[in-house]
A and B are shown apart, each in its own frame.
Chain A
Amino acid sequence: MSDPVSTPTSRPLYKRILVPTDGSDVSAAAEHAAVEFARAHGSEIVALSVAQPYPVYVAAEAAMAVDPGLDLEALRDQAERNVRRVSAAAAGAGVACTPLTVFSHSASDAILDSARDHGCDLIFMGSHGRRGLSRLLAGSETQKVLAGAEVPVMVLRPKGTAP
């Protein structure tokens, strides 16, 4: 066995990897790395997209013109599209993938809850230099995931981005 990576171990150290995605390029880099990792180690993937409903602070008149149902549907559609990108990449690599779309006001809570609920033992996230980790994972949300995660978190910065 000269090439350990092409021969997945029977019992990988990290069996189920949570891959949060927001559809951004930063996410894409982490998704790609996670799929490569899962293929090499014989892990499976849980792909998560968080649909975050916007808090609505509008005048009563304007609020009457808003159809909140439409908005939520659009958010869910986008979240499902994001997750499908990961599922497709996983399928292409022969990696098992569970797609997951959740509504939450807090991306970090959704990530931590999903990791727990689905028994993930590793979380893959993309970082984005000084501006904070990608939009989904910006600023304090990232801190909360990294500080609150009960499992290790793999943080990747896409190549070519300056800090």
Chain B
Amino acid sequence: MEQPPQPPLYRRILLPTDGGEASQRAILAGVEFARDLRADVVGFVATPAFRVLSTDPDMVGHSAGQYDDASRERARRTLADVEAAAHDAGVPCLLEQTVADNPWEAIIETAQRLGCDLIVMASHGRRGIKSLLLGSETQKVLVHSNIPVLVHR
């Protein structure tokens, strides 16, 4: 059967990451997929805003300024990992970083703003209970995103 020419399914893939192990694996898978599709990728980190009352060790005992520096530095390292993976695979790569109280909202907003047509992310985050639950941010992205989400374990 004669098929009409199809536009590429996915041209730009958002790779949100929290720097955790699960995210790292999702990034590698996302980059490999992008190479197959000849798509480009956007590495993305959403850093929570500083709070005086927090259980995050980066916030406890630090001033807002120290926290900002520490989280910016961690985001930079995390995004450097995405850049390296994309570079190794020959996949064009953009890097984005934002401060947001709700990472899931920032993920969806960034995907829309940068014209991503697929989000590839891990099923759980750094603090997630592995294999038992879906991470809360992933869950919220799934519920609210109009863009398909490829969830990796």
Interface residues of A (CB under 8 A from B): 3-6, 9, 12-13, 33, 36-37, 39-41, 92-94, 127, 129-130, 143, 146-157, 159, 163
Contacts and interface: CB of A to CB of B under 8 A. Distances in A.
A24 B23 CA distance: 32
A156 B3 CA distance: 24
A154 B8 contact: no
Given A39-B3, A146-B134, A153 B150 contact: yes
Interface string B12-33: 0000000000000000010011
B38 interface: yes
Contacts of A148: 131
A147 B123 contact: yes
A14 B78 CA distance: 27
B7 A5 contact: yes
Contact of A3 (B5, B124, B133, B138): B5
Interface in B40-63: none
A160 to B, nearest CB: 9
A13 B9 contact: no
A129 B143 contact: yes
